[in-house]
Amino acid sequence: MATVKLMVFYRRPEDEAAFWTHYREVHLPLVTKIPGLQKVLVNRVDQNPMGGEPAYFMIAELHFADQAAFDAAMASPENRAAGRDAMQFAKGLFTMLAMTET
C-alpha cells in the first residue's frame, strides 16, 4: 500500500509571527484530530536553489496509509473544521495537492 499525502503550499504571509502562532496553537491541533492521519510534517522553505524568491513560505504534509484512509479523512468533520480554520487565518495564501508515493 502506498502512502497518500496531502501537501499544503503556503505563500509568505504579511505577518509571519502571527501566522506561526495561529498555525501552531490553533491550526495544527485541528489537523492532528483528522482521523487516519499518520504523520504531519511542517517544512519551512529556506531558499530557491535556482535563484529568485521561493514560490512558497511553508509546505505542510499530511500522510495517510492509503487511498481509502485519505478519502475517509477528507470526508471527515475534523477535516472540514481544519479547512474552515485555514480559510480564515490563511485565506488566499494556500493551495493543495493530493499525491501518492510511488
Sites of contact with a second copy (CB under 8 A):
4-7, 41-50, 54-56, 59, 74, 95-102
- Least gap, CB of 9 to a second copy (angstroms): 8
Cell readout for 29 is: 491541533
Least CB distance to a second copy at residue 94 (A): 9
- With beta carbons less than 8 A apart as the criterion, state whether 100 and 67 touch: yes
Q: Shortest gap between Cβ of 50 and a second copy (angstroms)?
A: 6
